[in-house]
Each structure stands twice: as C-alpha cells, then as structure tokens.
A and B are shown apart, each in its own frame.
Chain A
Amino acid sequence: GDSVTQMEGPVTLSEEAFLTINCTYTATGYPSLFWYVQYPGEGLQLLLKATKADDKGSNKGFEATYRKETTSFHLEKGSVQVSDSAVYFCALSATGGSARQLTFGSGTQLTVLP
C-alpha cells in the first residue's frame, strides 16, 4: 500500500539556519504530494503541494520539489524563524482513491531557537 516516510525529529535549529526535512514515499501511479504544518494548539494547515513530477510547491519561504526519480518531496527553507516552530507532516493523495484521503508521515517536530 501507499506509505510516507519522513525524517524523525525533533529537529532543533537556531534562527536563520537552513532547514531540510526529508520525505520519501511509496505509491502506485502518480500521487499528489503535500506538506502540512501544525502550530501549537491549532489544526493541521496545508503549507504547500505539488501534483506532478518536477513541480515545486512553495509558500512562506518553504519549498519542496516533487522528485519522481527518487520518490521524494523534501521540505526546505533557507532561513528559519522562531515562528516556524511547529510539527510538519508530509502526505500523499493517491490517484484513483477517494478524493482527499491522505496518507501521512509521522510528523517532524521543529523547534527554532532565537
């Protein structure tokens, strides 16, 4: 079945450091890929997405590129801020499945120190 594997946390960085959170997936066909973010006390929010190979999703300084050859969708940000502290979830939505049934990774806790 479909699965998502993401980098285990927690990850602790200093402000302005470079961030990478790795995510790889296993799926048949051509899934859509997502990164969700959960800030403390809030629900998951869609951060960015990519729907086909070589697409780059971007939002709030975060980027992720859909790499079919490596089945990856790594999340990157050039300079993190304290306000980026949150849990980040990588997810996929398989083609042909019920719309918006997502398969999630286990989440990565990011803490950014001032």
Chain B
Amino acid sequence: GAVVSQHPSWVICKSGTSVKIECRSLDFQATTMFWYRQFPKQSLMLMATSNEGSKATYEQGVEKDKFLINHASLTLSTLTVTSAHPEDSSFYICSARSRQHEKLFFGSGTQLSVL
C-alpha cells in the first residue's frame, strides 16, 4: 500500500532554535498534505492544509509565521517550527492524500521536545 515517510521520528532541541520535519509520499503523488499536532492526552488537532505549489491554509489559532509549511513538490512537504519554545513540545504528524484516491495516508509522527 501507499507509504508516507516522516522524519525525524523524534527530535530534541534547545529553546530558540528551528526544527524542520519532513513528510514524503514514497509511491504516490500527494496533491494535498495535512499537518496535525497532538498534546498529551488530547486529540490530534489539524494545524494546516497544504496543496502542492500554493500557500498552506492554517487553522484558527495556528501561527503561520511560527509553523512554516512548504509543499514544493508532489512528494514532499516540510513543517518548520521556528524559534521553538518548550510549549511547542508535542507530537506532530502528517498525512497525504493521493491524486487518484480519496484515501489518506499517515506518517509515523515526530515527537518534538524543546528544552
């Protein structure tokens, strides 16, 4: 089946640094990718929707200047957490929708810890 690769699976960084998370569709073209965030014991919350070649659409309350999303190709989207702070520590997960199918395929997630 279709595979979405997300890297890194976990990252620890110092406060004030930036962290980039990659989401790749390995065997299909992803016209749309979604980024989610999950705090402990809470739901996966949609952060933003990105369509290839256009600006991402952010959900209410998500700072677009802090969470930079790039979807420059049909197989790669990146989320950059800029100037990370401890409150950004969370589990981030991406998903991708293929051009041909309505199904969603998920990455394995990235656990970010900001010290």
Chain A residues within 8 Å of B, Cβ to Cβ: 3-4, 8, 36, 38, 41-46, 89, 98-107
Contacts and interface: CB of A to CB of B under 8 A. Distances in A.
Give the size range of B's interface with the partner.
Answer: 20 to 34
Contact of B6 (A8, A43, A45, A104): A43
A43 to B, nearest CB: 4
Contact of A4 (B9, B43, B95, B109): B43
B43 A98 contact: no
Interface of B: 4, 6, 9, 32, 34, 36, 38, 41-46, 49, 93, 95, 97, 102-109
Chain A facing B: main interface SS = loop
Given A43-B109, A89-B44, 16 more contacts: A38-B108, A41-B9, A43-B4, A43-B6, A43-B95, A43-B106, A100-B32, A100-B34, A100-B97, A101-B34, A103-B43, A103-B46, A104-B43, A105-B43, A106-B38, A106-B44
